[in-house]
Amino acid sequence: MNPRLHCFTSLLMLLLAYSSNTDRQLWADDVTWLKDVTSPKIEIVSDLSSVLKATDGSNITSKKQWHKQRATIDNYWRMFLGPLPQPTKDLNVQRLKTEQLEKCTRTLIQYTAESGRTVKAYLLEPKGAKQKKCPAVVVFHGTNAQTFQKVAGLIGEPERHIGLRLAQRGYVAICPENFLWEEKSYLASTAAAKQRHPNSKGMATMLADGIRAVDVLETLPQVDETRIGAIGHSLGGKETLYLAAFDSRIKAAVASEGGIGLAFTNWDAPWYLGPEIKQANFSHDHHELLALIAPRPFLVLGGETGRGCSDGQRTWPYVQQAQLVCELLNAPVRMGLLNHHQGHSLSWEIGEKAIQWLDVYLDE
């Protein structure tokens, strides 16, 4: 056989064999449906302040100017949130209970978030993970009585078992419990956090806990530290937005129905940002956080119709601002909105889209 033909045939057989053993999209630079989620089919009308306009009113037209502007935006929001709870030197991770599942193990763990306070989480690890480096994801749960049990696959509808689904696909997934369930009510949990950190918003504790979950992932020898993502629905979508904005270790993320705009949902609740954002002189919004994430891939899932939905067509102006940053940086535009029109839900099919997004953009 011709040596060149033999080489080509061997390579083709290798690719076919490899692709037949995985559901992941490995050979494309982008998801095939990227254009659908990055190109709005409506005329965008917005009264948002431009992230590409400096405080003196001048236009930002260079990478150097953007990096300065980015630092200004980052500093503002960090000051607004207040000091983040400081982590202890040691995580002190304890494995409390482990279950052997068909394709992965599910372990209830506990670790130290800050002095005098621990966080529980489910850690899901694919079988054979210790023999290779795996991508990893922080999976934030929504608002439900069983908190992190649903995303870890212990209860509820299978389509919401995102942590379990990811582990079955070869990811290491950590599903931390939100601090709002540490006391008898959200308000009691918020009051306890406020007592520990009187000058910080409730969102500061959520952000710090998200950062701590990434810290835990980085201690695991089977985790590829260059391929860590985040995903969350509703409450978890809010946490995903903040973690991706303020922790550059998050390489790609999906926020489902969290409500990007400050006016979309209850961002003024005391456990998030508080009533200050409703004041007439408050001139900031979350398009600035999306701009901090750019050009890292970030997908918003919106329900548009149905009771209690948060994101949809009105989210486009926020996404567009981040897209402009990508273009300024000469980077691929991977800031998108998938508007599924299914209300405040996360169907199996849309969950598969979200996982595919992570498949592609954590595989680069």
User: Per residue in 182-241, pLDDT tens?
Assistant: 999 999 999 999 999 999 999 999 999 999 999 999 999 999 999 999 999 999 999 999
The SS3 of residue 298 is strand
Q: What is the CATH number of the domain that holds 273?
A: 3.40.50.1820
**Residue 71: inside a domain:** yes
Number of folded domains in the chain?
Answer: 1
- Asked, for residue 4, whether it belongs to a domain, the answer is no
Helix (H) or strand (E) run with residue 173 in it: strand 172-176
Of 66, 138, 121, nearest to 295 by C-alpha is 66
pLDDT per residue as tens digits for the range 22-38: 333 333 589 999 999 99
* 16 in any annotated domain: no
pLDDT of 47 > 80? The answer is: yes
Range of the domain at 184: 29-361
In single-letter form, the type of residue at position 289 comes to L
* Angle, CA 165 vertex, CA 160 and CA 166 arms, to 5°: 120
Does the residue 321 lie in any domain? yes
H-helix or E-strand containing 123? Answer: strand 117-126
Report the 10 Å Cβ neighbour count for 274.
16
Q: Is residue 39 part of a domain?
A: yes
**What's the average model confidence in pLDDT over 313-318?**
95
Mean pLDDT of the chain: 91
CA distance 54 to 7: 55
Q: Residue range 144-157: average pLDDT?
A: 93
CB atoms within 10 A of CB 73: 17
pLDDT tens digits along 290-314 = 999 999 999 999 999 767 789 999 9
What DSSP line would sit under 27-88, residue for residue? Answer: S-SS-TTHHHHHS-SS-----PPPTTB-TTSPBP-SHHHHHHHHHHHHHHHHHHH-PPPPPP
pLDDT at position 77 over 70: yes
Residue 9 tokens read as 């045939």
Is the peptide bond between 295 and the residue preceding it cis, with omega within 30 degrees of 0? Answer: yes
Instruction: Say if residue 266's pLDDT is above 70.
Output: yes
Tell me if 8 is assigned to some domain.
Answer: no
Is the pTM here over 0.85, yes or no? yes
Residue 208 belongs to some domain of the structure: yes
Q: What is the mean pLDDT of residues 148-163?
A: 95
Flag whether 2 is in a domain: no
**Among residues of the chain, what percentage have pLDDT more than 70?**
91
